Structure 1
Amino acid sequence: MLKILVAVDGSELSLDAVRHALGLRQQGLAAEFVLANVQEPASLYEMLTMRDPEKLLNVSTGAGEHLLERARQLCTAAGATYECDVESGDPAHMLIDIAERYACDAIVVGARGRGGLGGPMLGSVSQVLAHESPLPVTVVKHMQADDEASREGMYAHMAPPADSMEVVIGLA
């Protein structure tokens, strides 16, 4: 059985990645998931005003747990096996660390597919993951506003987005 890390920041974009991963499972891929959220490290201001590192950690973990809630609901509704992890640090590099710690076989992440006329094709986290991860990385493009009407029917059966862009980076 494959273990797939799905990066979740609570955005609709990251939930598209969760839906895509669940769609692969529904289509027959034997997989379980690690839902991972990475919080930015505390700022100097936060460290000076709160002063208690344990309280800072609790606030950060609580925020991450909250952002994972919808992804958990999707996995539970689909009957998928999953674990959750909330960490703090540089998001892309921490996601690689989490994937290695959980012995994941692949990473699925959402990204805004802008492209065209010099525009970036991937977001910063997905771009770093695609270049630096030793694991295969699937980047799922977010559906555009004109595709919103088809979103409900498409995801009702947990199929991956029809216009999803997959970038798969092999082992280095």
Structure 2
Amino acid sequence: MSRQTEAGHGVERPLHLLIPVDATDRSRWGIRHALAQHRAGVPLRVSLLFVAVPPDEWRILRFRSEEEILRFQFERGKLLMDDAASELHRAGIEVDYLEREGDVVFHILDAAEQHDCDAIVMPVPYPRLVKLLSVDVAREVMRRQRAVPVVSVDNEGLAVMTA
């Protein structure tokens, strides 16, 4: 990953990582990666991203409006990002929060480009057998990757080569 030099200053800007977060432990693997980069002396900043998924299940919408459900998701997302950011803040790493609503994969790729990120940090994709049972967001982000590279990390936050 190369960092760009800020125009006219001759100073490298911090490595900007986008780390999507959700309620799973796997989404914290990117936090471990950022902390390891920081300990290695890499100047960086982190954007945490939470994507709320609009409900489409009629059984849920019978009891709550879509607006109520999304509001609940965003409140929960803020708590998840606060929790994920706590270690980064303690380490002195600059963190900002991004919230989106809609297709998770699209918004991960879009936010990375919109916010001039140098990399998207995602957990390694599930083994292909598990992928058959559910949507694997990490694998789909890698498949639809655009200009911003995806760094796959293991549970210790170490970058892993994926096929």
TM-score band by shorter chain is 0.7 to 0.9
Tell me the distance in 2 between the aligned counterparts of 1:125 and 1:93.
10
Question: Does the alignment pair 1:132 with 2:121?
Answer: no
Cα deviations by residue, 1:83-138 (Å, 9 ceiling, x for unpaired): 011222121111111112211111001135546xx665xx7111111121221110
The amino acid that maps onto 2:138 is: S
Structure 1 residues 57 and 40: CA distance shift in structure 2, 3 A = closer
Cα deviations by residue, 1:14-47 (Å, 9 ceiling, x for unpaired): 1121111221122122210101111222224344
Q: CA RMSD in A?
A: 2.5
Question: Does the alignment pair 1:106 with 2:119?
Answer: yes
Question: Does the alignment pair 1:83 with 2:96?
Answer: yes
Tell me the TM-score normalized by structure 2: 0.75
**Alignment of structure 1 residues 1-172 onto 2, 5 Å:** 1-45=14-58, 46-51=60-65, 53=67, 55-111=68-124, 113-114=126-127, 124-134=136-146, 135-142=148-155, 160-161=157-158, 164-167=159-162
Tell me the TM-score normalized by structure 1: 0.72
Q: For the Cα contact (< 8 Å) 1:112–1:141, is it kept in 2?
A: no
Tell me the distance in 1 between the aligned counterparts of 2:98 and 2:23.
14
Please list every run of 5 or more consecutive structure 2 residues that lacks an aligned counterpart in the other structure. 1-13
- Stretches of 4+ moved more than 2 A in 1? 43-53, 111-115
Cα deviations by residue, 1:47-103 (Å, 9 ceiling, x for unpaired): 4433363x3332121121122232111111211001011222121111111112211
Please list every run of 5 or more consecutive structure 1 residues that lacks an aligned counterpart in the other structure. 144-159
Percent identity reads 23
Q: For the Cα contact (< 8 Å) 1:4–1:32, is it kept in 2?
A: yes
Identify the structure with the greater helix proportion.
Answer: 1
Structure 1 residues 77 and 33: CA distance shift in structure 2, 3 A = same
